[in-house]
Amino acid sequence: MSYLLSVEDLSLKDRSTSNDVLRNISFNLREKEILGVVGESGSGKTLLSQAIVNWLPENLEISSGQINFLGKKMSVMSENELEKEIRGKEIAYIGPNAINSLDPTYSVGAQLLEKAISIDKENTSKEILKQKVISLLDDVLIPSPEKRFYEYPSQYSGGMMQRAMIVDALLSSPKLLVADNITMPLDVTVAAQIIKLMRVLRDKFNTTIIFSSSSLPVVREISDNLIIMKNGSIEEQNSTNEITSNPKSEHTKELIKNTPKIWSENINFQNIETKPILSIKNFSKSYKVRDKNKFNSFYEVKAVRDFSIDVYEGENLGIIGESGCGKSTLSRLISLLERSDTGTMTFNGEDLSDFNKDKIKNFRQSLQLILQDPYNSLPSRQTIGRIISEGLLIHSQLSKMEIKEKVLSIMSEVGIDQNEYNKLLVGKSGSFRQRVSIARALILEPKVIILDETLSSLDQKEQEMLLSLFSDIQAKRNLTYIFISHDLAMVRKSCNRIAVMYMGRIVELAKNEILFDKCGHPYTRTLLCTIPTLDKNPYDKNLYLMDGEPPDPTEIGTECSFKSRCPHFNNNNKKGSTDMGLIEIQSGHWVDKCGVDCGR
């Protein structure tokens, strides 16, 4: 049998250390096959993708083995031959960082058209190539492609940018598409749309696909066959069904064991019947943004709209929603890093609306915020001990020795070796850095901690370890957590109550088990149907997955902001409702009125 791609005993080594970073990789790929590559951070997925397109970092080289594509030995081809014959033409590569892949000073369409012109060999007219680009934008489900052709990267959402990069890859009609972690930075709804799109494009363009990810459930959705990687080697390879139902290697078994079981496991939380520690009433926040197309003109972005909630002492409250729904703005408002336009907030019964400096200083000692990015939220030039001690230096009168003793104690509590006290963060993993962030927050003995996408940049194993740590700390300190996330699998395991946000508002609020079993809003059903999991999901994607993007936040009116995506609303026959406002459909279960009227 002839194969489109054959990788034979491939090994890569680091020139500076002579250490192998990939070892003895072998597999074959048939035409129109989708091969999934799964592994944790550092397993070698991205290096394998880069090796296939022969696009390796300068310090790496192929030490043994070869890659055959369409009968050609790529490892012996010159850089000029690769550029002219293979890379970006017969083989296309898409990476995870779509936002930074295009020049922000040129329109998306202009850059895609430039690519189309550069690879055209038939002297096709510019207008015909432009129509080809617009047609491909339509194929990847970018709305209003003629209009979007002229827009700039900054005007595209993350999901739309990833679609644009798929167009960039498809322009050359490649025989092989290497998709490296392309769903990693995306919300679950957008990721599900991209996976569905990739299958459609495979059939329409007869393209073979290598799809890599750290998420086994995500890869299972799309792949015919699977490769499981660990530490630069293949642990197991077989058909997708065989690996997920009958794994052979211990590593694969552990990977499956650590994958969240959302529907097949009973998850019960005790009822929290305490007084509210934090009460938010009618928070709203808008931003004025300069209009690039008009001189001295601004438009208003409504980030948070009429948001109200009580947070109970000792509970874990989850706030979920897609990127751009206002979650992170809300975390800044709650932590008083920004001031709301309207509304009030009380903490332990004390009103903080007057922004009294003494009140705020005491409040910030009682409420701490841990951010998503552990690389940019911590100072790289300070020692770990100095980073953790910062809060004490501001809020306490302790001596240097007392501060050091307290820091060392906190380091032990969060699982950081005390020998790291005088070291820098250089070379430390994301998980280690988040432990430093946790220690820095705990040093002031807060009552409430906001976790703003704190675990989203970590793989499943690292997430599990930190969730266990959060649970242990909560048991010792009676903490209240607010989990802000787009990861429903994580929220399912960790939160008593869950609030669903859409375009700055709560559209549903319920206890964990009620939300997952009897959700009342169509948007919640969309989120639930896209959870990456290996067990059977009762919410069918064919019924509940929405296409399209959220509405422009500058054009939100007083009606339901979900109506443009709602399956029950149609402008022609006026089905559905545009009334808004939470109503209680059963004890503790609140749903936006439009969701109730649209048929639960």
pLDDT per residue, tens digit, the chain (600 aa), is 689 999 999 999 998 888 999 999 999 999 999 999 999 878 999 999 999 988 888 889 999 999 999 888 887 888 888 878 788 789 999 988 777 789 999 999 999 999 999 998 888 999 999 999 999 999 888 878 898 899 988 888 777 888 899 999 999 999 999 999 998 767 788 888 889 889 998 999 999 999 999 889 999 999 999 999 999 999 999 999 999 999 999 999 999 988 878 887 777 777 777 899 999 999 999 988 777 667 777 778 888 999 999 999 999 999 999 877 889 899 999 999 999 999 999 999 999 987 788 888 889 999 999 988 888 889 989 999 999 999 999 999 999 999 999 999 999 999 999 999 999 998 888 889 999 999 999 999 999 999 998 887 777 778 888 999 999 999 999 999 999 998 888 899 899 999 999 989 999 999 999 999 999 999 999 999 988 888 888 998 888 887 666 776 767 766 677 777 776 665 443 444 555 688 999 999 999 987 666 554
Q: What is the DSSP string of 40-78?
A: -TTSSHHHHHHHHTT---TTEEEEEEEEEETTEEGGGS-
| Exposed e or buried b per residue across 563-577, where buried means at least 16 C-beta atoms within 10 angstroms of its C-beta | bbbbeebeeeeeebb
Instruction: Answer whether residue 410 is part of any domain.
Output: no
What CA–CA distance (Å, rounded) separates 521 from 527? 10
Instruction: Answer whether residue 442 is part of any domain.
Output: yes
What CA–CA distance (Å, rounded) separates 482 from 498? 10
Instruction: Answer whether residue 511 is part of any domain.
Output: yes
Burial of 18 (0-12, 13-18, 19+ CB in 10 A): exposed
| Exposed e or buried b per residue across 446-464, where buried means at least 16 C-beta atoms within 10 angstroms of its C-beta | bbbbbbbbbbbbbbbebbb
Burial of 212 (0-12, 13-18, 19+ CB in 10 A): buried
The first and second tokens of residue 333, run together, are 């408002």
Residue 487, pLDDT score: 86
Residue 129, pLDDT score: 96
The Cα-based distances of 67 to 25, 30, 75, 125, 135 in angstroms read: 10, 14, 6, 36, 34
C-alpha angle 538/544/550, rounded to 5°?
A: 135
Helix locations, 326-399, DSSP H:
327-334, 357-366, 384-395
What CA–CA distance (Å, rounded) separates 208 from 205? 9
Phi-psi sector, 545: left (phi>0), alpha (psi -120 to 50), beta = beta
Q: How many domains does the chain have?
A: 1
Nearest partner of 512 among 259, 280, 309, 320, judged by Cα: 320
Give the CB-side neighbour count of residue 361, counting CA atoms within 13 A. Answer: 6
Instruction: Answer whether residue 338 is part of any domain.
Output: yes
What CA–CA distance (Å, rounded) separates 159 from 557? 24
Instruction: Answer whether residue 63 is part of any domain.
Output: no
DSSP state of 521: S
What CA–CA distance (Å, rounded) separates 592 from 600? 11
What CA–CA distance (Å, rounded) separates 402 from 570? 65
What CA–CA distance (Å, rounded) separates 269 from 570? 39
Instruction: Answer whether residue 405 is part of any domain.
Output: no
The first and second tokens of residue 142, run together, are 């970018």
Write the CATH number for 487: 3.40.50.300
Task: Please count the other Cβ atoms lying within 10 Å of the Cβ belonging to residue 405.
Answer: 12
Q: What are phi and psi of 308, to 5 degrees?
A: -135, 140
Instruction: Indicate the SS3 state at residue 373.
Output: coil
Where in 80-194 does DSSP place strands (E)?
Answer: 91-94, 176-180
C-alpha angle 376/378/381, rounded to 5°?
A: 105
Instruction: Answer whether residue 138 is part of any domain.
Output: no
The domain of 577 spans: 276-378+425-597
| Size (the chain), residues | 600
Please report the sign of the dihedral spanned by the C-alpha atoms of residue 454, residue 455, residue 456, residue 457.
positive
**H or E stretch including 462?**
helix 460-477
Please report the sign of the dihedral spanned by the C-alpha atoms of residue 160, residue 164, residue 165, residue 166.
positive
**Residue 558 CB partners (closer than 8 Å, separation 6+):** 580
Rounded to two decimals, the pTM is 0.81
What CA–CA distance (Å, rounded) separates 53 from 252? 27
Instruction: Answer whether residue 300 is part of any domain.
Output: yes
Where in 172-216 does DSSP place strands (E)?
Answer: 176-180, 208-213
